Amino acid sequence: MKQSAFQFFIQPKIRKRMADCFLLALLMICISLPLDNAAQAQNLDEWQSPTYILKAFNEIALKNEYRSTAQRILKWQQPIYYRFQYHDLPQNTMVENLFSIHLKHLAEITKHNIQPSGKHKANLLIHITRDRHYNQVIRQFTSSNVSNIARESHCMGSFKTHSDAISEAQIVLPVDHLFSKGLLVSCIVEETTQVMGLPNDSDWVNPSIANDVSKIELLTGLDYLFLTILYDRQIKAGMSRKRSQPIIKAIITQLQQQGIIDNAQHLVNKGGLNAYLE
């Protein structure tokens, strides 16, 4: 069976710390927010059009900025069991709570089983480390072959596939660096969402956390639609672009008829980390 590895990360020259900070109730963390809502309001009608959604989904789900792909659907088929692994750091319940809230949100959107590993073997390992050990942890626990990745990223995620189904994933966060840059929440949301099977970044897909030139740090209505489409039961891991397109078009039409596209931003804001900002 064919096995593949994918990696993605947030680049330091693109993500910047926002000026406005809000206190997340119960979690006691300062999250950097956009200076205004222009990014999400921009081209509102465009991102909600079926043509745009299809084009943007293909860009984010079927491509990878660091390697050429066969443009097949990548997604989890087995349940996701996650575990935190600390490297020269004590347990950080605040960071774990942020991850747990976002992972629960992803489970609600996708209807996919995501839970702490408990007695199960973890297939999503979340590495919490210091900046000085960041490169070492990447090299030891991920299959990344991106040169200078520790210097060119704030955080990173990678996953492996088995017959186009995601079989395991790793996320690496140098938390001291992220706290100093105000990027903790941004990294948690982006990397965890990408390991669901949305590996590409694109400057033209907007509004989305997959757009690295934007100031967006939480899931948007467009991200909600990507996840909903990807984890529709009609979409199977390994589907080719040609085979998947008519099915995706039909799903988008159904979402439009149900009013989900028009209400996508409202729906995504009801859960996860988004809900703390309402």
Beta-carbon contacts of residue 39 (< 8 Å; ≥ 6 apart): 206, 207, 214, 215, 216
Asked whether residue 169 carries a pLDDT value surpassing 80, the answer given is yes
SS3 at position 242: helix
Q: Give the torsion through C-alpha atoms of 5, 168, 113, 128, to 10 deg.
A: -110
| One-letter amino acid for residue 238 of the chain | G
Residue position matching structure tokens 């809230």? 101
234: its two tokens: 């009609």
pTM score, two decimals?
0.86
251 phi/psi in degrees, rounded to 5 = -65, -45
3-state secondary structure of 32: strand
Of 124, 187, 126, 120, whose CA–CA distance to 153 is shortest?
187
Q: Please confirm whether the linkage preceding 207 is cis (ω < 30° from 0).
A: yes
pLDDT at residue 277 in the model: 59
| Average pLDDT along the chain | 86
Pairwise CA distance, residues 278 & 276, whole Å: 6
User: What would the two tokens of residue 159 be?
Assistant: 């996953």
- Cβ(49)–Cβ(185) below 8 Å: no
- The strand pair at 21-23 and 30-32 is best described as antiparallel
The 10 Å Cβ neighbour count of residue 15 is: 23
Q: Which of 119-133, 143-157, 166-180, 264-278 has the lowest mean pLDDT?
A: 143-157
Work out the average pLDDT over 135-156: 82
> Which residues pair with residue 42 across a beta bridge?
none
Residue-range domains of the chain with CATH: 3-12+43-277 (3.40.390)
Assign 23 a pLDDT band (cuts: 50, 70, 90).
very low
Alpha-carbon span 73 to 241, nearest angstrom: 8
**Quick one: DSSP state of residue 231?**
T
Give the mean model confidence (pLDDT) for residues 57-64: 92
Instruction: Give the model's confidence band at 69: pLDDT under 50 very low, under 70 low, under 90 confident, else very high.
Output: confident
